[in-house]
Amino acid sequence: MRIGIDVGGTGIQVGLVNKELKIISEASIPTRTDIPFEEQVQQIASCVLSVISSAGLDPEEIESVGVGIPGIASASGEIIKCTNMGWHHVPFSEVFHRFYNKPVFVDNDANVAALAESVAGVSAGTSSSVFITIGTGIGSGIIINGRIWKGCHGIGGELGHVIFDLDGVPCSCGNHGCLERYCSATAIIRMAREAAKLHPDSMLMKLAGNNPSEVTAKTVFDAARQEDPVAVEVYHRFIGYLAQAVASVVNLIDPEVIVLGGGVSKAGSFLLKPLVREFPRYVLFDDQPLPEIKLAVLGSEAGIIGAAMLT
């Protein structure tokens, strides 16, 4: 039995995961950035202990505690940077041990989700995979030889900030042309709003209540499914960008499977089918067997399950 903790911007999910990699008990607390770090950790530890006791277990029966954070951490459990939580160089494991003394492992949330899918999800049984989460930004996690590869200094796996378009769209990171400016929900919305303004009579515009700032990624997919030409054009551009991003991952890393998660992946086969058709033309050795592209299956459970599997 292991504990997995998924630290998010609004809530912290705690789950007890059994040997079959199922969540058997779960609870959550709101994310609090208005209290000191030690207090945040204490609240998390209390939640952990209550999840254990509500499953009728003794805290001693737990093997380890894993934590996924929207940031980076060291192997020793120091959180190096977690901007959402206001944590910079804070000794998470050390403080957590004051309340509950079990081995603690901390890693980036996309790495954790990558691990979860590779042991209990769609890429289970593979030894290498790249998980790409397509939401507001692009997160990614690399699994090589069955283990998370987060780099020598813990700063790898950031596919979203690979240069994808020299001198291109400005990114929140301060650079220009980062991959996530073209392959995220934010990118779909940017392209769609520009198109909607030019085509006030489009279905896309109608679905957004005639307000371009109400356009979402879902509006675009919905209108494209109904063959609205304005939405279809944005959809095709987005698929083309994502195909080039996926092919770049193949050309450089060539994992067994590439897993797509995050909000945009909910478009399902409407996203996957054209992508699988299109990405090989951007692969250098496209006459060879290629990685499979699959949709994530664990959804929000990936954060808890993957964290519980950290070692």
- Footprint on residues 183-222 left by a copy of itself (CB under 8 A): none
Contacts of 295 (CB under 8 A, 6+ apart): 122, 259, 260, 261, 265, 268, 271, 272
Residue 279 near a copy of itself by CB under 8 A: no
Of 37, 99, 149, 270, the one binding a copy of itself by CB under 8 A: 149
Residue 145 near a copy of itself by CB under 8 A: yes
Residue 254 near a copy of itself by CB under 8 A: yes
Residue 283 near a copy of itself by CB under 8 A: yes
| 3-class secondary-structure state, position 107 | strand
Closer residue to a copy of itself in complex, CB, 26/256: 256
Residue 291 near a copy of itself by CB under 8 A: yes
Q: Closest approach of Cβ 117 to a copy of itself, in Å?
A: 16
Residue 9 near a copy of itself by CB under 8 A: no
Q: Among the residues of 253-311, which ranges form H helices? A: 269-278, 301-308
Assess contact for 182 and 169: CB atoms under 8 A. Answer: yes
Residue 262 near a copy of itself by CB under 8 A: no
Of 182, 221, 235, 279, the one binding a copy of itself by CB under 8 A: 182
Closer residue to a copy of itself in complex, CB, 41/178: 178
Assess contact for 221 and 297: CB atoms under 8 A. Answer: no
Closer residue to a copy of itself in complex, CB, 139/212: 139
Residue 138 near a copy of itself by CB under 8 A: no
Assess contact for 109 and 6: CB atoms under 8 A. Answer: yes
Of 10, 36, 56, 153, the one binding a copy of itself by CB under 8 A: 153
Of 86, 144, 197, 268, the one binding a copy of itself by CB under 8 A: 144
R_g of the chain computed on alpha carbons: 20
Q: How far is residue 80's CA from residue 219's CA, in Å, rounded to a whole number?
A: 37
Assess contact for 124 and 109: CB atoms under 8 A. Answer: no
Contacts 24+ apart (CB under 8 A), 280-286: 280/247, 281/243, 281/247, 282/243, 282/244, 282/246, 282/247, 282/248, 282/251, 283/247, 283/250, 283/251, 284/251
Number of chain residues interacting with a copy of itself (CB under 8 A): 55
Of 8, 91, 135, 168, the one binding a copy of itself by CB under 8 A: 168
Residue 105 near a copy of itself by CB under 8 A: no
DSSP 204-243: HHHHTTT-GGG--HHHHHHHHHTT-HHHHHHHHHHHHHHH
Q: Where on the chain is the footprint of a copy of itself (CB under 8 A)?
A: 72, 80-81, 126-128, 140, 142, 144-145, 149-159, 161-166, 168, 173-175, 177, 182, 241, 244-245, 247-248, 250-256, 281-285, 287-291
